[in-house]
Amino acid sequence: MKITEVKTFLMHAGAPNLKRWAADGSFGHESFSKNLTGTRNWLFVKVYTDEGVTGIGECSGWPRVIQTAVQDLSRLLIGEDPTHIERIWQKMAIAIMGHGMTGTVGAGAMTGIDMALWDIKGKALGVPVWNLLGGKIRDRIRIYGHANTAEAALSLKERGVTAIKCGGVSNPVKKVAMLREAVGDEVDIAIDLHGPPWLTPADAAQVCRALEPFNMMWVEDPVAPENLEGFRRIREHSSVTLAAGERQATIFGERELIERELVDVIQPDTGRAGGITQMKKIAAMAEAHHIGFAPHSGSLGPVAEYAALHVLSAIPNGLILERIEDDWEGREKTVIPHPRSQDGHLLVPDAPGLGVDIDEAFVAQFPSEGNVSIPISEASGSYAEGTFREHVYVQTRTRRARYFKDT
C-alpha cells in the first residue's frame, strides 16, 4: 500500500459557551462570545492510498498555520507505505528539525498525519486502533465537563457527569467552595488557573494550599508550564494534586514535567502532542512515575476526541477525558458517527481504525475566519494601571490580593 495524496480541511468552529471559559479569564463578558466564535478553527487531515483506504486525523496548535505545515510535509509522504508509522514520524521530525524546536505547530502537523496513518493501519487490518495499541483495558472513558456556576455544575451532574472543571484566577477558592457546596462530595472538581500572567509562584502556592481542603481532582497550570521551577516551588509548599502539559508537545516537551514529577496528571493535547505515536509513549513515561494521563481537549474538534478514546482505552494510567459537554452544536455534525456521552462516559469505538470520518460537505460550510484571540477592548494587554490587564504579577501586593481575597 502506498500513500497517494494528503488533503487538509480547515473550518471555522463555533465557540463554547464563554460564560464558562475565556482565554484571559474575563468570564461572562458578552463580547467574548463573538470574539472566540470568530477565532476557533479545526483542521482535519485526510491521507489517501492506492488501495482506496483513507485515514482521518486532526491538528491543533494554530490550525491555519499548521495547514501550510501539513501541505509542506505531504511531499515526504507520497509513495510511502502508510503502515510504517514510526518510520514516517521520524522522517517528518527530521524534515522540520532545521526550523528549530518542534513546537506545537510542527508537532500539530505531525499529529494529524500520524493519526490518519493509525486510522489507515487499523482499517487495513480490520481492527480498531486500540487493538493496535495493545488491546482494551476499558470499554468506556470517563469524561469531565466545564462548569463555573452551580447551575452548570448541577446540570452536568444531572446528566451523569461525575467530574467538573472550573477556570480563572479571580477568587478561585471561593469558586471551588461554591461548586463543592453545590455538587457535594461525590463529584470530582478540578480548577484550571491557566498559568501566568495571573499568578506568581508565590501567589500560586498560596492558592494551592488554600485549595487543599476541597479534595481537588487537580489544580491545572498554577503557573506557566514553562516555569518548571515554579512547579517545584509549589510542590514544596502544597500537597494539592497538580496537572499540566497541554502546551507542550512530544516526549521531549513533556519529559521534564514527568521525570521531575512536577505534576500528578499529565495533559498532552491530542491534536498537537505528536500523534497517537507520541501519546502512547508519553503515557508510558508517566506510568513509570505513577502519573495519571488526562488528555487536553478544550479547543479540539471531534476527530482528535476519537483518537483520545483509543489511547485512553489501551493505557493503564488513563484517568479521564476533557469534554465540553455544552459545546457548539456543529461538533456533532462535523463527524460521522457522532460521539455521544452516556452516564458521564464516552463509549470506546469498535469499528476498524479510529471509527470516525468527517462530513466534508458540512465542514465546507464553515470556512476559516482567522485564528487568533481578538482583545475585547483597547485596554487588553495595555498594562493600564489599576486594571486587571495591568497584569496581576506587576501589581502591588495589596492590589493583587483583591483577586485572591477569599484565599
Active site residues: 194, 296
Which residue's CB is nearer to Mg ion, number 121 or number 146? 146
Cα angle 264, 268, 273; round to 5: 150
Which residue's CB is nearer to Mg ion, number 120 or number 179? 179
Q: Which residue is nearest to Mg ion (CB)?
A: 192
Segment 175-204, which members bind Mg ion (CB under 5 A)? 192
Integer CA distances (angstroms), 213 to 148, 177, 189, 381, 405, in order: 19, 9, 12, 34, 17
Which residue's CB is nearer to Mg ion, number 24 or number 192? 192
Residue with cell 497541554: 246
Whole-angstrom distance, CA of residue 382 vs CA of residue 143 = 38
322 binds Mg ion per the rule CB under 5 A:
no
Identity of the amino acid at 53 = V
Within 335-377, strands assigned E span 335-336, 341-342, 345-347, 357-358
Identity of the amino acid at 276 = I
- Find the shortest distance in angstroms from Cβ 267 to Mg ion: 7
**Number of residues lying near Mg ion (CB under 5 A):** 1
- Find the shortest distance in angstroms from Cβ 298 to Mg ion: 6
Which residue's CB is nearer to Mg ion, number 268 or number 344? 268
**For Mg ion, what does the binding mask look like between residues 136 and 175, x meaning CB under 5 A?**
----------------------------------------
- Find the shortest distance in angstroms from Cβ 326 to Mg ion: 17
CB atoms within 10 A of CB 199: 29
Q: What is the largest CA-CA distance in the chain?
A: 67
- Find the shortest distance in angstroms from Cβ 295 to Mg ion: 11
Which residue's CB is nearer to Mg ion, number 295 or number 355? 295
Whole-angstrom distance, CA of residue 263 vs CA of residue 293 = 11
Task: Write the CB contacts of 403 (distance below 8 Å, at least 6 apart in sequence).
Answer: 169, 170, 171, 198, 388, 392
- Find the shortest distance in angstroms from Cβ 270 to Mg ion: 13
Contact residues for Mg ion, defined by CB under 5 A? 192
